[in-house]
């Protein structure tokens, strides 16, 4: 990442990679250095909360509102080719119980998305254009509720690799969204999901 990019409190920089934590943020408030958004309609609620089960053993980012697709993206990021990774815990949700990562985010209606769903036990990759989400590959995997998982996407040009808990589950090509964009995290509908150890890097 360029030196002019901003980091949230708790971020560390190692070469072109950055790791973002939430330990320096106020509990009950949105995290510093993040932009809250959504695709569609609703009322997302992104707050920093204490979670002693978290990999960081401290504070996490939690989404507990309801919207079509709640989004939070890291302010100051603009990556064309690289990776994005997060640890997440699907907690609750009757319509949906999912956590995801986004990249090449142009705005709330245009971005790439990889998500894991604990109600469906699968991982899927999508492009979202003009607010419409379209899947282009999926994999059946066990996604356990109330357990921490790791989701990672690596992207170079039109080629994408998605990893779940350290194992490659999807490899796919798509050239719908080009150029650079922001990276962030995502949920759907009434999903209550916690996120920790967000990291990203540029090739």
Is residue 103 within 8 A of residue 84, CB to CB? The reply is yes
Average pLDDT over residues 8-27: 71
Distance CA 188, CA 117 (A): 10
Strand 59-63, strand 66-74: pairing: unpaired
Q: What is the pLDDT of residues 158-195, one digit of tens each?
A: 999 999 999 999 999 999 999 999 999 999 999 999 99
Average pLDDT over residues 9-24: 69
Distance CA 122, CA 120 (A): 6
The secondary structure element, H or E, covering residue 187 is: none
Question: Is residue 2 assigned to a domain?
Answer: no
State whether residue 3 is helix, strand or coil: coil
156: CATH = 2.60.120.560
Q: What is the pLDDT of residues 18-58, one digit of tens each?
A: 999 999 999 999 999 999 999 999 999 999 999 999 999 99
Residues in contact with 167: Cβ distance below 8 Å, sequence separation at least 6, in sequence order: none
Q: What is the DSSP string of 64-78?
A: -SEEEEEEEEETT--
At residue 10 the predicted structure's pLDDT band, cuts being 50, 70 and 90, is very low
Domain hosting residue 190, numbered range? 12-202
At residue 16 the predicted structure's pLDDT band, cuts being 50, 70 and 90, is confident
Query: Over 70: is that where the pLDDT of 12 sits?
Result: no
Question: Is residue 120 assigned to a domain?
Answer: yes
Q: How many domains does the chain have?
A: 1
Average pLDDT over residues 99-115: 97
Q: What is the pLDDT of residues 48-105, one digit of tens each?
A: 999 999 999 999 999 999 999 999 999 999 999 999 999 999 999 999 999 999 999 9
Question: Is residue 50 assigned to a domain?
Answer: yes
| Number of DSSP helices (H) and strands (E) in the chain, helices first | 0, 16
Q: Which tokens hold the place of 96?
A: 């949906």
């Amino acid at each position: 990442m360029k030196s002019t990019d901003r980091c949230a409190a708790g971020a560390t920089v190692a070469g072109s990679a950055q790791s973002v934590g939430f330990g320096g943020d106020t509990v009950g408030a949105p995290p510093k250095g993040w932009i809250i958004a959504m695709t569609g309609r609703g009322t997302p609620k992104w707050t920093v909360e204490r979670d002693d089960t978290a990999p960081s053993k401290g504070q996490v980012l939690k989404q507990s509102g309801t919207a079509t697709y709640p989004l939070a993206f890291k302010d100051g990021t603009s990556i064309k080719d690289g990776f994005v990774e997060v640890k997440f815990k699907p907690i609750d949700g009757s319509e949906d119980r999912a956590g995801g990562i986004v990249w090449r985010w142009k705005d709330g209606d245009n971005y790439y998305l990889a998500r894991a769903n604990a109600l469906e036990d699968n991982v899927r990759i999508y492009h979202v254009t003009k607010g419409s989400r379209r899947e282009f590959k999926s994999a059946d995997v066990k996604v356990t509720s109330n357990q921490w998982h790791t989701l990672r996407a690596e992207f170079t040009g039109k080629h994408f690799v998605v990893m779940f808990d350290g194992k490659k589950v999807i490899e796919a090509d798509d050239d719908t969204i080009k150029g650079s964009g922001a990276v962030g995290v995502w949920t759907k509908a009434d999903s209550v999901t916690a996120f920790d150890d967000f990291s990203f890097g540029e090739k």
